Structure 1
Amino acid sequence: MKQWYEELFTNYVEKYENESFTQGTMGEVDFIESEINHDKSSKILDVGCGTGRHAIELSKRGYHVTGVDLSENMLNRAREKASMAGVEIDFRLGDARSLPFEGEFDLVIMLCEGAFPLMETDEMNFQILESAARSLNNNGKLIFTTLNGLYPLFHSVKDFINANSNYSTNRENTFDLMTFRDKYQLETEDDDGNKMTLNCNERYYVPSEITWLLKSLGFNEIDIYGCKLGEFSRDNPLTTEDFEILVIAEY
């Protein structure tokens, strides 16, 4: 049986690319470049790369990028776009929990909830972090975004999603204070206009949890900031107004 995120991305390429949350690529890549000091020799792994927006832009700027995603449909679109952009990227079908890499990359990115924290258990989410950490070399850096557990304590997640998605409606929303999981029904249409009702389950994280998880994987330096679309910056302190957290971890 497919999980909700597998169902959603089976045929959701065009709608995904027109969602408001995918429109900040240039500024986000500017930030990623600054975090690796514009070192073109850096090998970068994009986990949950989707249709390749970050991977392609990084490749256009001269970086060696590998992209991994669970959706063949999204990867096919990524390959098309890379070909049109005249760049070569190793796009692979794969599960973020069991990446086949060991110490190969200078940087791993997981942006816009491409993989973490969509898994149905905390253990599965942790496997993604383990897998990403294992893919890094000894001087590697991990940059990812995740859902901010402070946000639902002060705001309605349902209202936020309904206000920020062009194609989907969030219904029957329940945020569980004991697990920090948000369960809801997502009503949307695929690229062919077929209606879908998906039972979604997403995990929100508070900063202290993220820090503890990453320290348990050997990261020494962990910085957490507010995440602003297209404007990733170390100058954005995390607040209860941020829907997402930006995490930067180094050994």
Structure 2
Amino acid sequence: MKQWYEELFENYAVKYDKESFTQGTIGECDFIEKEIEYNKEAKILDIGCGTGRHSIELAKRGYKVIGIDLSESMLRRAKQKAGEEDVEVKFEKHDARKIPYLDQFDLVIMLCEGGFSLMETDEMNFQILQNAANALKSKGKFIFTTLNGLFPLFNSVKEFLNSEAESGNATYDNNSFDLMTFRDVSKICIEDDLGNQKEIQSVERYYVPSEITWLLKTLNFQPVDIFGAKLGAFSRGDKLSTKDFEMLVIAEK
């Protein structure tokens, strides 16, 4: 049986690129470049690359990037876009829970819920962090965003997501946040690239900063820095607050 995230990202690549939360690519890549001190020799792995927006932008700036994703339709779109932009990115189909790389990358990025926090169990989510750590060389850097567990304690997830959406974007309903598991169950309504209307029940795991810090420290990351993640404007100057839907995590191996 397909998991909800596999069903969601089937034939949803063109529409996905029009979602409001995918519009911050340039600013986010500016931040990434600054974090690796513009080192063009850096090898980058993009976990859960989706339609390749960060991979392609970084490749355009001269970096060697491999983008991996579970969705064949997202990867098809990524390859098509890379061809149109005339940039070279290696896109490969891999499950983030089973990444084949070891000590190969200077930077691993995992942005916009790139697999992490979507998995069925906490153990699977941890496996993704573990694989990212394994893929990094010594002194490598790991930059990712994840859902901020402080947000649903003070705000409505449904109201936030629907207020951010433009016409034609996905809509969210029937949200239910479980305080014991920090999982939000919701109904996502989309029209896919073929014009089919779909209703999918999603289950996403929110994390509090202390959990993320502890998980990464067990994987020998030090230091671990966490900030608020502003769309298209990542910054070390943004102290995480209850108003941030996502947090930006920067860890060094």
Q: Which of 169-178 and 209-218 deviates more?
A: 169-178
CA distance in structure 1 between the partners assigned to 2:228 and 2:180 by the alignment = 23
Q: In the alignment, does 2:111 pair up with 1:111?
A: yes
Partner AA of 1:85 in structure 2: E
Q: In the alignment, does 2:60 pair up with 1:60?
A: yes
Q: In the alignment, does 2:92 pair up with 1:99?
A: no
CA distance in structure 1 between the partners assigned to 2:118 and 2:127 by the alignment = 12
Give the match for residue 32 of structure 1. 32
Give the match for residue 150 of structure 1. 150
Q: Which of 223-232 and 160-169 deviates more?
A: 160-169
Q: Is the CA contact 2:19–2:170 (under 8 Å) kept in the aligned structure 1?
A: no
Q: Give the superposition deviation at 1:52.
A: 0.6
CA distance in structure 2 between the partners assigned to 1:164 and 1:8 by the alignment = 19
CA distance in structure 2 between the partners assigned to 1:138 and 1:161 by the alignment = 38
Please give the TM-score of this superposition, normalised by the length of structure 1: 0.98
CA distance in structure 1 between the partners assigned to 2:80 and 2:170 by the alignment = 26
1:54-95: per-residue Cα shift (whole Å, max 9, x none)? Answer: 000100100000000001111111111111111111100010
SS in 1 for 2:244: coil
Match of 1:231 among 230, 233, 239: 233
- Structure 1: gaps spanning 5 or more residues: none
1:170-219: per-residue Cα shift (whole Å, max 9, x none)? Answer: 12111001110001111221111111111100000000000000000010
CA distance in structure 1 between the partners assigned to 2:170 and 2:142 by the alignment = 30
Q: In the alignment, does 2:193 pair up with 1:203?
A: no
Give the match for residue 126 of structure 1. 126
Give the match for residue 140 of structure 2. 140
Give the match for residue 89 of structure 1. 89
CA distance in structure 2 between the partners assigned to 1:99 and 1:207 by the alignment = 25
Give the match for residue 215 of structure 2. 213
Q: Is the CA contact 2:139–2:252 (under 8 Å) kept in the aligned structure 1?
A: yes
CA distance in structure 1 between the partners assigned to 2:136 and 2:57 by the alignment = 21
SS in 1 for 2:212: helix
SS in 1 for 2:75: helix
Partner AA of 2:197 in structure 1: K
SS in 2 for 1:91: strand
Q: Give the superposition deviation at 1:115.
A: 1.0
Q: Give the superposition deviation at 1:15.
A: 1.0
Give the match for residue 14 of structure 1. 14
Partner AA of 1:136 in structure 2: L
Please give the TM-score of this superposition, normalised by the length of structure 2: 0.98
Query: Any runs of at least 4 consecutive aligned residues in structure 1 with deviations exceeding 6 A, and if so which?
Result: none
Partner AA of 2:162 in structure 1: N
Q: Give the superposition deviation at 1:169.
A: 2.1
CA distance in structure 2 between the partners assigned to 1:31 and 1:182 by the alignment = 29
1:213-243: per-residue Cα shift (whole Å, max 9, x none)? Answer: 0000010100000000000010000000000
CA distance in structure 2 between the partners assigned to 1:171 and 1:193 by the alignment = 20
Q: Is the CA contact 2:117–2:147 (under 8 Å) kept in the aligned structure 1?
A: yes
1:104-146: per-residue Cα shift (whole Å, max 9, x none)? Answer: 0000000011211111111110000001100000111000000
Q: How many percent of aligned residue pairs carry the same amino acid?
A: 64
Q: Is the CA contact 2:14–2:77 (under 8 Å) kept in the aligned structure 1?
A: no
Equivalent residues, number = 251
Q: In the alignment, does 2:165 pair up with 1:169?
A: no
Q: Give the superposition deviation at 1:165.
A: 2.6
